[in-house]
């Protein structure tokens, strides 16, 4: 199959089927806080701007943003994650409920904080980011509770997305156990990876690293790449991790798809008209790709749709989602 072989009829059918599929997201949830204001002077205490705060807003981050992306396009979703027993955790759950996302799969930790990333913004320009988080491996009690939530949801889904932000939920023991059980059931497994866990991902359906992460998989220094370089890196990752498919996101250059069975390599140029903020773009890509695959798409069709979804979200400030109607419109128009 080539990009030119993708038909409007197929795209409409795949996107229409989103509401018929169900996906579980497992991983590190977080809250993105935006403090909005303006800068009118420099502090007399240090050479730094003074931001006069005008308002606050919140966005969903990490695994919570993946679930939000799926819910926004009509996919039936389940979230298995962990948060602290704190005010930030309560706000995170409230934001999920407001977006129509599930919260019953959360495990409340007695020992860790809910991750919150606070961005200080002055006239849409980020001044500084402040992270409040606890990064450590799961306790035995937390692992047991998460496995219980996972096991309860597994019979209800067509696939799972593991959203690894290296905050602790995606521990080696828990991840291996999940992947083994999913393989036993023949379920689709997609992983948004983090560098330190690459060895855990061997044999899953697909991983979606960015180009820097792709270099890390192979333990090679990150450097500017030609298309041939990307092709060589991708096939080396497919071989090393025994992957049926690999999708490398390339920021403003688009994405690269590798299919092992067909020995196919596709470079999908970006369709973004404007790149305003890439925050959360990886969440959008893995969400839409997984929704498409579990709705009957072939890998190239799924990547095509995901690429167009990312083109919409990077034109907005902060983490953002697309709707089914927006996706239908942009995919069909771009394919005319």
pLDDT tens per residue across span 59-117:
999 999 999 999 999 999 999 999 999 999 999 999 999 999 989 999 999 889 999 99
Helix H or strand E encompassing 159: strand 159-163
Least confident range from 160-164, 194-198, 214-218: namely 194-198
DSSP string, 180-248: HHHHHHT-EEEEE--GGGGGGGTT-SEE--BHHHHHHHTT-------HHHHHHHHHHHHHHHT-SEEEE
Residue closest to 254 by CA, chosen among 296, 318, 309: 309
Look at residue 14 and tell me whether its pLDDT is greater than 80.
Answer: yes
Look at residue 278 and tell me whether its pLDDT is greater than 60.
Answer: no
Domains by residue range for the chain, with CATH: 3-334 (3.40.1190.20)
**Given 38, 131, 283, 336, the catalytic residue:** 283
More confident residue, 271 or 172: 172
- pLDDT averaged over every residue in the chain: 90
Q: Name residue, tokens 């819910």.
A: 71
Those residues with Cβ within 8 angstroms of residue 240's Cβ, 6 or more apart along the chain or in another chain: 217, 218
Active site residue 38: no
Q: What's the token pair of residue 52?
A: 């006069």
Look at residue 284 and tell me whether its pLDDT is greater than 70.
Answer: yes
pLDDT of residue 273: 57
pLDDT of residue 228: 94
Share of the chain above pLDDT 70, in %: 93
* pLDDT tens digit sequence for 222-245: 988 899 999 999 999 999 999 999
């Amino acid at each position: 199959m080539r990009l030119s072989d993708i038909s409007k009829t197929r795209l409409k059918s795949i996107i229409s089927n989103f509401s018929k599929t169900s996906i579980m997201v497992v991983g590190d949830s977080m809250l993105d806080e935006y403090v909005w204001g303006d800068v009118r002077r420099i502090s007399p205490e240090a050479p730094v701007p003074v931001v006069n705060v005008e308002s606050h807003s919140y966005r969903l981050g990490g695994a919570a943003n993946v679930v939000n992306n799926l819910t926004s396009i009509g996919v039936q979703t389940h979230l298995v994650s962990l948060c602290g027993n704190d005010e930030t955790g309560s706000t995170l759950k409230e934001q999920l409920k407001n977006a129509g996302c599930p919260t019953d799969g959360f495990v409340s930790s007695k020992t860790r904080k809910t991750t919150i990333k606070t961005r200080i913004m002055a006239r849409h320009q980020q001044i500084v980011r402040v992270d409040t988080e606890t990064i450590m491996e799961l306790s035995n009690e937390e692992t047991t509770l998460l496995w219980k939530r996972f096991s309860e949801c597994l019979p209800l889904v067509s696939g799972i997305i593991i959203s690894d932000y290296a905050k602790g939920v995606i521990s080696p023991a828990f991840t291996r156990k999940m992947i083994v059980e999913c393989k036993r059931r023949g379920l689709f497994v997609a992983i948004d990876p983090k560098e330190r866990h690459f060895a855990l991902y061997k044999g899953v359906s697909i991983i979606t690293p960015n180009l820097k992460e792709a270099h890390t998989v192979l333990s090679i220094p990150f450097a500017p790449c030609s298309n041939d370089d990307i092709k060589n890196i991708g096939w080396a990752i497919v071989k090393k991790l025994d992957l049926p498919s690999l999708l490398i996101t390339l920021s403003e250059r688009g994405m690269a798809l590798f299919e092992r069975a067909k020995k196919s390599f596709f470079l999908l140029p970006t369709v973004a008209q404007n790149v305003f903020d890439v925050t959360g773009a990886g969440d959008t890509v893995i969400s839409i790709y997984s929704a498409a695959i579990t709705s009957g798409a072939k890998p190239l069709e799924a990547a095509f749709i995901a690429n167009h979804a990312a083109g919409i979200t990077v034109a907005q400030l902060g983490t953002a989602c697309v709707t089914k109607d927006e996706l239908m419109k942009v995919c069909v128009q771009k394919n005319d």
